[in-house]
Structure 1
């Protein structure tokens, strides 16, 4: 299955620590909540700035004028600030949770006129609304104000990304397990989000030269310098972690229709369709600026949707350019684990007379609880300087890859960084590099990392060898009965050239041993689990397999897959002899050349019978194969077992050709098998996203049914994205087929609009799968007596079929984000319902972490 979201190591680690150790966060906290209204109209006021007086601890009121503010220290007063109103102060009780409503008085000095509205609240409308007319002008002038309006642009970009543990209490810090780590807790910063203590644990920086060309559209990024905290590669994929953070904290371009933040697409407040989803209000005119600047506030019409709320500043000179923006999300948004989100954009007038982005800040605070408990805060600051517009750029700049990292980019010394950073950096932040190095050398931390790696990745590191994965140690099925397995693999500590992997398993019912041995030679002298891979591997495997069960990111003998529905007694005993050559390129094109000898023996309720009704005990094939894969702009996290892709909008192409070789190494058949697929995610803004897979295959040659395409079935109770969840194992075989798989997540678009239900933050999902194929006469046993008979059940009922004139179809409707981690689908099978042991309906569940 494809995971949209995998919690990064640090998020998982610190949230796990929170579950283990319930530290008191607010020992003497002051918490105030209330509503802010206009003293004249009695209407609620959104986006009012609320601060504890004489502190930097603040928040804003939501769309309904409500606010909640907290401080871990005693506080005596609140200050309420809103453009066009007199600043209000309110005394409060220190160290108490309390309620405090406030009435703000309009300021006659800052407003040309005050309109008093009596009676009932006026309904918001787009028609004849000056704020909406203004935003439509901003939308109409987007193309001429964005950076892409110039023929060429070049500039320098400095990026700083900082991650911290938040809400760290004194009680938590004083726990015994942290007695060797007190150096990490020094000089915490409590000014960024709502008074929460922040403990920096990770930092990365980069300095780049950027080049853009309008026609033809080309771009180039040259990374001049970069550095980041480096963790022990035995436990963490540093490159993957950086890639994951970069995906969550992408560049913020307010001129785009959709802004990607925390792996979700948010509709920009100046998107083409923004007036349909946002409410806009003119809240101030800054007449002392040249040109005049209009402050435009905006809020989502529905607080649960993936929308922002905040303010943008627009020039009042006919150009309608954005000069600044400050926005976040409503507290009721259907977004998981996000306690706070704040984005600030600053623009400066450039030499061409327009406004260019000078700095972008994105701050997000994560946690299991809404306010209390340990959390995780990420901050990304990007500074832009040295713009040059419409200056001729030589074509040589754009040659090669779109992103190039200079060979010495990671070798810049401290003096270079001090002289070339485009933004300031505090002494506390610079300490992170040294602190983490010290932390990783502590024996107690190393022991903790081993435990965490075992829990999250399933491997126990023993230095040159690691044991795992632990979720395969125990499983069961109808043929093997209780199955125990133990194995592991070598690590780069033994060798960076040679890698070995092995396991042994035993079934107590069939009383047979299974095992696997492999030896790999790394041609590029890098870990074979590190991108780009380049290795030669030889392996032998004697083990069982369910025909038609194909899994992604899950081991076949995973304990949870032992639970299956219906008749599940078919199994194959397989002997695989393989040699594989794998070559990956930096552009994410790869190819694999393989040679395989495969001997299979049916077991359980599966039998191979020839045309003379004689049982065939063993089928042997020899194959040579070529696999091509191209995944442009692919991003992933390299786990212990799998590469976990980080979902994005770019397609993935696969093409595989396999040739059966009769008479070679005992092969019994000649055939040619071609299979291709395309996977792509489509983002549909407020309607969510769709994952679409198109696949097709063709087998040329006369072969028995075990060598046909056995379509992916699922008889477990888990919902599998790439399998047919109401199809039985080995129910359908084909020698030619095409299929489509659509899985759409609405991100709560409909549930968010249903009162009461929207508070549960559930999300709607729908799917549709169709498979069209069949057998040519030469491969149809009912028309050709020289082939194996298709399997039957013990009672004589037919078990395996060829697809007829109609495609196999199934669909589902489901509810996701149950308890923030569970998806449950009601699945319906639309046809071929007269087959034995099939169900028209089924309920399937899947664990899925999403933001």
Structure 2
């Protein structure tokens, strides 16, 4: 019994030893001052006021001096003694009275702000690298709120069920994302970073929340904010080496704080449509460091996606020499397509240690790690540690959405819940299979699985060998024990002109490591078999849609195909080191497929129909034969980094290139195989973001045949050509090259795809044009086999047209310049177009 009394006494002592300081911040007119910085003097601990200017944080009994700051207002301090009760403080901040100190004005009339900025620029590199390493605690609260959601977007009605699920009111107003996180951040020069997320909470979800970037530093020449999609070039710091050539500075005056003079300077871009900030930055006198700033980015700053982004920071001393960020606020506005949204991302940094002692190998490939119980903390825990009080609507959002989530989770496997989920899907409509396709989930306590049927009309095609083609495809997916996932994809293909029916099935079995601290060793087994139609080039450079249009409208049947009865199997393994290994084996009974129709929309175009084989390279159709081929791929991306969630790891990339080596052997006499060859290929590919100077992308390779005793056209080295105005896959195609004329069995060849995306580097200098935010892109696509077979393309174009399109002017030289062609190509490129381009070119190969 004594043990329980002792435990109770300890718990009471703990409870009563932590009291709360809370309050509100006003200006002299009685207006609220949201997101003010609250700090315990002499420490980096404290809080941030919320949007209602309320603040609260826990302290142990004692006497403290509390410092309240807000950009543009005089700092105020209040002493408070904490005993056994919470204490309320009200801060009323006066507008900052700036003193125009006596300054030396240069003969050219230069504003004194420029000399202050020059001194700060000199100090910038030193402050950026002032400490070799540090750690700190981080609290983050992220909130995104809709202020209006239209009933329709692009003419498509937003279902009422979706609005209800987001818990919006009748006007489409409400919080759509709310999360909090607590983490320990560690940084070591020059580029080591690690964040351990101790606790995380997302309203109405068991997910993991966190905002990025963790730090925004004006001590860097170029500042990256959130993802590169906001601006891949980044934004030029007002303290960058050449800031004076980009910004105008105006000295507003100075004020005193804790015996230190602070200069207040207005920052204004010299030119619109440059990646520049505007606002106020406060610089300390003599040591020329950042005290605080309130800066804004807009569309005239080349800001993408969102309309405005405001960044506010307060810096405080960690010791006599080192200052660090105390509070950071990012506030954004978004208003497009009738959707009006705002977001607030608040970070509070405490407990800095600028002389940490890291264990050996502390910094590893995992740069962000979520603890096992990261999302298991109760509401009482958050109420006890939160340095930014929740607003009323946030309290309501947590209360309602968390309660609903728990209720749904508790009933997730009940018969009522299963019936509800089935009902929500609606009934299967037979007509859906013609256009939208069918995608369903079969809910069950023990045997939940997904299945679907692809759209028939969207997958119809036309070619001269089969005529009108009907493709019927489907899928079945189910999670199996031991963290495995089975996928079965049956396919049926029927050509109405040649009356050939082809059917085959692809089966994959994937496994993933689910133990938290184990190394990643993900595996995939694949098996395919049946009878199918394949392009001679297994990378399928021509999409069925492009070929259908070009054939019907112009008589250009560029896609060349053959039938094959096949069996294929493969195994792939991925390692945490960034190494990927795969081996594939393929048996094909290859059957020629000749033209059976010459139908075109305009009869005159039917004369342009060409044979259904690579006539540019071979004189006649091939005779039926068999092939057994084994292929091995090894790829390696050094420096791969990861985010580690409680039961999985996610790769987030590396600054280093991806190296890929392929070796393929055609085996003779096995299962009647008629082929006999050995070929290899080595590629290096990467993206290098040079920030203000643009983004360089490249894919270069070498290869050749070690043995070419018996090689049929299907196994040649093909260079992905293009004869369509619609651009083929960038960095993997030659936009003005023939599809097969340069296919080869040579002992050696080389190729390179290089393109530089200027991302506004030059186009933002053109008045009027810079408002369009269209960006220049230029580069080359080249391959070389010998003096009689080579190809060089030079191109220049514009991308980000309507955020989607890219248009290039291309000139090509073949065979030493003996043949020259020029053309315009249209493709997908830019903010949204890059994503569309990836989707269009994903999984278009035959796989084996």
With normalisation by structure 2, the TM-score equals 0.69
Cα distance, 1:252 vs structure 2: 2.0
Cα distance, 1:55 vs structure 2: 8.3
Give the alignment partner of residue 721 of structure 2, picking from 697, 700, 713.
713
Residue of structure 2 equivalent to 1:516: 504
Tell me, yes or no, if the aligned pair for 1:336 and 1:850 is still in contact at 8 Å: no
* 1:723 and 2:723 aligned: no
Partner SS state of residue 671, structure 2:
coil
Taking the TM superposition and a 5 Å limit, the aligned residue runs for 1:131-170 are 131-146=113-128, 148-168=129-149
Q: Deviations over 1:15-65 (max 9, x none)?
A: xxxxxxxxxxxxxxxxxxxxxxxxxxxxxxxxxxxxx9968899xxxxxxx
Cα distance, 1:125 vs structure 2: 13
* 1:354 and 2:322 aligned: yes
What is the alpha-carbon distance in structure 1 between the residues aligned to residue 193 and residue 344 of structure 2? Answer: 26
Check 1:383–1:397 CA distance in 2 against 1; reply closer, same or farther (3 A cut). same
Partner SS state of residue 338, structure 1:
coil
What is the alpha-carbon distance in structure 2 between the residues aligned to residue 298 and residue 187 of structure 1? Answer: 40
Residue of structure 2 equivalent to 1:758: 770
Partner SS state of residue 710, structure 1:
coil
Check 1:435–1:811 CA distance in 2 against 1; reply closer, same or farther (3 A cut). farther
* 1:630 and 2:630 aligned: no
* 1:291 and 2:292 aligned: no
* 1:691 and 2:697 aligned: yes
* 1:363 and 2:331 aligned: yes
Cα distance, 1:810 vs structure 2: 0.8
Cα distance, 1:809 vs structure 2: 1.0
Give the alignment partner of residue 560 of structure 2, picking from 557, 570, 575.
570
Give the alignment partner of residue 594 of structure 1, picking from 584, 595, 618.
584
Residue of structure 2 equivalent to 1:486: 472
Cα distance, 1:750 vs structure 2: 2.9
* 1:341 and 2:341 aligned: no
Residue of structure 1 equivalent to 2:395: 427
Q: Deviations over 1:577-624 (max 9, x none)?
A: 221112223454322222222343444425589x99886323433233
Tell me, yes or no, if the aligned pair for 2:367 and 2:642 is still in contact at 8 Å: no
Give the alignment partner of residue 272 of structure 2, picking from 298, 303, 313.
303
Give the alignment partner of residue 112 of structure 2, picking from 104, 118, 130.
130
**Structure 2 residue ranges without an equivalent (≥5):** 1-28, 36-69, 74-94, 410-416, 443-448, 515-519, 595-610, 644-649, 834-848
Work out which structure has the larger RCO, using CA pairs closer than 8 Å and 6 or more positions apart in sequence. 1
Tell me, yes or no, if the aligned pair for 1:677 and 1:695 is still in contact at 8 Å: yes
Give the alignment partner of residue 742 of structure 2, picking from 732, 739, 754.
732
Residue of structure 2 equivalent to 1:98: none
C-alpha RMSD over aligned residues:
4.8
Check 1:646–1:833 CA distance in 2 against 1; reply closer, same or farther (3 A cut). farther
Cα distance, 1:842 vs structure 2: 3.2
Larger Rg: 2
What is the alpha-carbon distance in structure 2 between the residues aligned to residue 755 and residue 450 of structure 1? Answer: 55
**Structure 1 residue ranges without an equivalent (≥5):** 1-51, 59-80, 85-106, 118-123, 189-195, 233-237, 638-643, 775-802
What is the alpha-carbon distance in structure 1 between the residues aligned to residue 152 and residue 817 of structure 2? Answer: 65
Cα distance, 1:518 vs structure 2: 2.1
Cα distance, 1:449 vs structure 2: 14
Tell me, yes or no, if the aligned pair for 1:346 and 1:359 is still in contact at 8 Å: yes
What is the alpha-carbon distance in structure 1 between the residues aligned to residue 567 and residue 799 of structure 2? Answer: 42
Tell me, yes or no, if the aligned pair for 1:465 and 1:494 is still in contact at 8 Å: no
Partner SS state of residue 409, structure 1:
coil
Residue of structure 1 equivalent to 2:217: 253
Residue of structure 1 equivalent to 2:445: none
Cα distance, 1:694 vs structure 2: 1.9
Taking the TM superposition and a 5 Å limit, the aligned residue runs for 1:60-71 are none
Residue of structure 1 equivalent to 2:195: 221
Check 1:111–1:684 CA distance in 2 against 1; reply closer, same or farther (3 A cut). same
Tell me, yes or no, if the aligned pair for 1:352 and 1:389 is still in contact at 8 Å: no
Residue of structure 2 equivalent to 1:23: none
* 1:651 and 2:657 aligned: yes
What is the alpha-carbon distance in structure 1 between the residues aligned to residue 169 and residue 108 of structure 2? Answer: 49
Check 1:416–1:628 CA distance in 2 against 1; reply closer, same or farther (3 A cut). farther
Cα distance, 1:356 vs structure 2: 0.7
Tell me, yes or no, if the aligned pair for 1:812 and 1:828 is still in contact at 8 Å: yes
Cα distance, 1:841 vs structure 2: 2.1
Q: Deviations over 1:349-379 (max 9, x none)?
A: 113532111232323333435xxx2144444
Cα distance, 1:740 vs structure 2: 1.9
Give the alignment partner of residue 812 of structure 2, picking from 829, 845, 851.
829
Check 1:393–1:497 CA distance in 2 against 1; reply closer, same or farther (3 A cut). closer
Residue of structure 2 equivalent to 1:547: 536
* 1:328 and 2:340 aligned: no
Q: Deviations over 1:261-292 (max 9, x none)?
A: 34222222222232232222222312345321
Taking the TM superposition and a 5 Å limit, the aligned residue runs for 1:53-132 are 110-112=98-100, 128-132=110-114
Give the alignment partner of residue 439 of structure 2, picking from 451, 460, 477.
460
Cα distance, 1:502 vs structure 2: 1.4
Cα distance, 1:388 vs structure 2: 0.9
Residue of structure 2 equivalent to 1:581: 571
Cα distance, 1:211 vs structure 2: 2.6
Check 1:667–1:165 CA distance in 2 against 1; reply closer, same or farther (3 A cut). farther
Tell me, yes or no, if the aligned pair for 2:101 and 2:254 is still in contact at 8 Å: no
Residue of structure 2 equivalent to 1:77: none
Tell me, yes or no, if the aligned pair for 2:801 and 2:830 is still in contact at 8 Å: no
Check 1:298–1:110 CA distance in 2 against 1; reply closer, same or farther (3 A cut). closer
Tell me, yes or no, if the aligned pair for 2:367 and 2:641 is still in contact at 8 Å: no
What is the alpha-carbon distance in structure 1 between the residues aligned to residue 378 and residue 96 of structure 2? Answer: 56
Give the alignment partner of residue 381 of structure 1, picking from 336, 342, 346.
346
* Between 813-822 and 155-164, the greater mean CA deviation after superposition: 155-164
Residue of structure 1 equivalent to 2:187: 212
Tell me, yes or no, if the aligned pair for 1:549 and 1:713 is still in contact at 8 Å: no
Check 1:400–1:808 CA distance in 2 against 1; reply closer, same or farther (3 A cut). closer
Check 1:134–1:756 CA distance in 2 against 1; reply closer, same or farther (3 A cut). same
Residue of structure 2 equivalent to 1:506: 494
Cα distance, 1:343 vs structure 2: 1.6
Partner SS state of residue 568, structure 1:
coil
Tell me, yes or no, if the aligned pair for 1:672 and 1:699 is still in contact at 8 Å: yes
Partner SS state of residue 800, structure 2:
strand
Aligned residue pairs total 684
Cα distance, 1:744 vs structure 2: 2.1
Partner SS state of residue 326, structure 2:
strand
What is the alpha-carbon distance in structure 1 between the residues aligned to residue 566 and residue 113 of structure 2? Answer: 69
What is the alpha-carbon distance in structure 2 between the residues aligned to residue 251 and residue 364 of structure 1? Answer: 17
What is the alpha-carbon distance in structure 1 between the residues aligned to residue 559 and residue 308 of structure 2? Answer: 51
Tell me, yes or no, if the aligned pair for 2:685 and 2:699 is still in contact at 8 Å: yes
Give the alignment partner of residue 661 of structure 1, picking from 652, 658, 667.
667
Tell me, yes or no, if the aligned pair for 1:295 and 1:314 is still in contact at 8 Å: yes
Check 1:516–1:297 CA distance in 2 against 1; reply closer, same or farther (3 A cut). farther
Cα distance, 1:804 vs structure 2: 2.4
Residue of structure 1 equivalent to 2:10: none
Check 1:410–1:267 CA distance in 2 against 1; reply closer, same or farther (3 A cut). same
Q: Deviations over 1:502-558 (max 9, x none)?
A: 1212222332223331223334488xxxx9742222112533333347369xxx755
Cα distance, 1:179 vs structure 2: 7.3
Check 1:213–1:55 CA distance in 2 against 1; reply closer, same or farther (3 A cut). closer
